[in-house]
Chains A and B, each alone.
Chain A
């Protein structure tokens, strides 16, 4: 017979003003198995906990019920408390008489009745509780960072500096991401390449970092502490072991295709480095445009290469690596505004460019060597219109969210135009100007002082007429229509998650939010974790943000990973499924229902009468099982049960209520 102790918390007056402890505590005392019941003003307080601990030893209590606030609030508190007593932390049930009773009911009599019912349910359940013991799983001391933008770079460096091995995976031929494409960064106007390329070099040279560029994740299995990740190295057609990156091969390639890095504003050969400061500083051949790979005719690069690095027969290879933790740093892309905004010409007008294209234009290493020239005729624009929130804050046509960085880089673009093109005019159409950040508001103010004209309103139409772009819109402060003739238009377009995010997150089992950004485990308190143990978030894959926020989050994710990798093993929740082998018929219904692939069929030796036989039974992997219990409801023979929420425990609750 169990010896149950019941402890009723007043929670100050939160509970006691509605639920009468003087009725509840005596009622609990009469429940089957209860040997002791007491109430106290604050059970979670130090004296409250002490009182429980004392009562346990004094009354020989072997399991307890605490009637208090929600178990989501203090279940872990009380479990920790039990660690210092003679009873197992899982010999505890909590009756939620605050959130689900005293706070939601006004009638004291009926609320107290309900509280008695809730305590009775908990008492009945706890009578079936059993000691549970956390298991530990080993941790592979190695991290995978997916995405080689500034978020991935920062996270990889932080983890590597702490002494752990890191693989930094990037699907492009070079790390660097979007930051490498930018010219200057707001609000300090320091050159983006000058601050990001040294970090790229550090990554390339760090003894703890293995760079895997031009690679993609093919599959992920396993769980926190021991992920198995299959990584596909795309064919480079250039032997990077011998290549010195001299660049001779690139000079004579006859193919010219749009440069990804310069966003179509210039051409690149089929054998190319993403950009001059690429890391690794070695080229790859783009198989879709290479003449040799397409038609078998050409081979110029192979003839030119002094070291014989070119290998047209190169093939993609898949390697499988083990990791203890994974950081997602997959970043963002800009929305395809041309497909969304027919009223801006749908991409027909060459002098309407995106903010990122402007970054390439104004960048000294870009296609115009930093001269602001319009793409159609290479002329310097006299009037530039900047349109903000193209695709952002537009639930009908684009995204409902704010892309956060655009207000600031729009101001930066205006500043750069006014600085580089004296006498030019810049009009910025905006919905709101949002400048939360150190030095941001000051920068915006300065831009207005520089002469940028801010017009509050949306641009409704842009069309080309007589060699210029007519921007038609509204000045909502004046309440009038405005039309500006511009020579060039910059659209500050919305961020959206990188293409391919769906596949990657579903491989990992990580959730995405309504806008497809990766869902953090808690929006405030666990912003760099996902719901999947061991998978962390850095940068814009979680939502739009600027560089400082991205770098902060990357370091935070790295800290989480370092904390994990510093342990050699970790405890797992013991509230997982368990198989009673004798009952299991090996039907396998549970195998398919498990969302974590935690159940497999395992062959065991058994006896049928006197005969020795081999048969299959379900086996639960305690590292993978998350304790959802889906398998238990699917089990035909009742062989599977969920520890902590056993069938017997829940049925006791049901019976106790119905009494």
Chain B
């Protein structure tokens, strides 16, 4: 049996309250179906997402992280997602440097009306991560850390 067979990735999605979270709600309202892998954490703006949240997720064994917000130019707070965009372009390279497949991280723009896009994105990212297999990068280290006392970086 291969490592990825029957594997269901665990994904956390940081969604901005005004666009993507609303879009996700709309997907529910329209009874669209998508895989159960994604858990949404609501944030006021994608610009609120501190890169450390993402590192922490990967460190704790999350298989994928999504950051979703309003389309550039449509930010509820006018400019927040521009910062997000720039920040997460750098983020991808940093993940790579840390030995985490950048394919585990996705920044996407989904508006409040794009329920179908939310559904499709969740399905697509889940499928990609299913293929990538579990994120084991820090699992071992984590276990060792846990033995030596509680680890984890605070901000």
Contacts and interface: CB of A to CB of B under 8 A. Distances in A.
Partners in one complex: yes
A96 B40 contact: yes
Contacts of B119: 104
A627 interface: yes
Interface stretch (B24-32, B93-101, B102-110): B24-32
A654 B57 contact: yes
Nearest to A110: B36
A208 B110 CA distance: 47
B24 A630 contact: no
Interface string A352-368: 00000000000000000
Contact of B51 (A72, A633, A638): A633
A658 B10 contact: yes
Contacts of A72: 17, 21-22, 25
Given A99-B24, A595-B80, A647-B155, A104 B33 contact: yes
B31 A104 contact: yes
A633 B50 contact: yes
A596 B60 CA distance: 35
A76 to B, nearest CB: 13
Nearest to A109: B36
Contacts, number: 133
B48 A628 contact: yes
Interface residues of A, number: 47
B10 A103 contact: no
B41 interface: yes
Contact of A103 (B29, B56, B83): B29
A633 B87 contact: yes
Contacts of A471: none
Contacts of B7: none
B89 to A, nearest CB: 14
A608 B73 CA distance: 44
A118 B39 contact: yes
A655 interface: yes
A104 B155 contact: no
Contacts of A502: none
A98 B39 contact: no
B132 interface: no
B129 interface: no
Contacts of B21: 70, 72
B25 A100 contact: yes
Interface residues of B, number: 45
B10 A626 contact: no
B47 A633 contact: yes
B36 A632 contact: no
B133 interface: no
A99 B28 contact: yes
B27 A654 contact: no
Interface string B41-54: 11111011111110
Nearest to B28: A99
Interface in A484-520: 509, 511
A634 interface: yes
A106 B34 CA distance: 9
Given A104-B34, A107-B36, A650-B53, A595 B78 contact: yes
A591 to B, nearest CB: 14
B31 to A, nearest CB: 6
Contacts of B80: 595, 628-630
A326 interface: no
Contacts of A626: 77
A642 interface: yes
Contacts of A655: 56, 60, 152
Interface string A43-83: 00000000000000000000000000011100000000000
The 9 lowest CB-CB distance pairs between A and B, nearest first, are A99-B28, A629-B48, A658-B60, A628-B77, A103-B28, A630-B47, A99-B25, A628-B45, A647-B155
Interface of B: 10, 12, 17, 21-22, 24-25, 27-29, 31-34, 36, 39-45, 47-53, 56-57, 60-62, 76-80, 83, 87, 119, 152, 154-155
Interface of A: 70-72, 96, 98-100, 103-107, 110-111, 113-114, 117-118, 121, 509, 511, 531, 575, 593, 595-596, 626-630, 632-634, 638, 642, 645, 647-648, 650-651, 653-655, 657-659
Given A99-B29, A628-B80, 15 more contacts: A99-B27, A104-B28, A104-B119, A105-B36, A114-B39, A121-B39, A593-B83, A595-B78, A626-B77, A629-B45, A630-B47, A654-B53, A654-B56, A654-B62, A657-B41
18 contacts: A70-B21, A96-B40, A99-B25, A99-B27, A104-B27, A110-B36, A111-B36, A629-B47, A632-B50, A633-B48, A633-B87, A642-B48, A647-B53, A651-B56, A651-B155, A654-B56, A657-B57, A658-B61
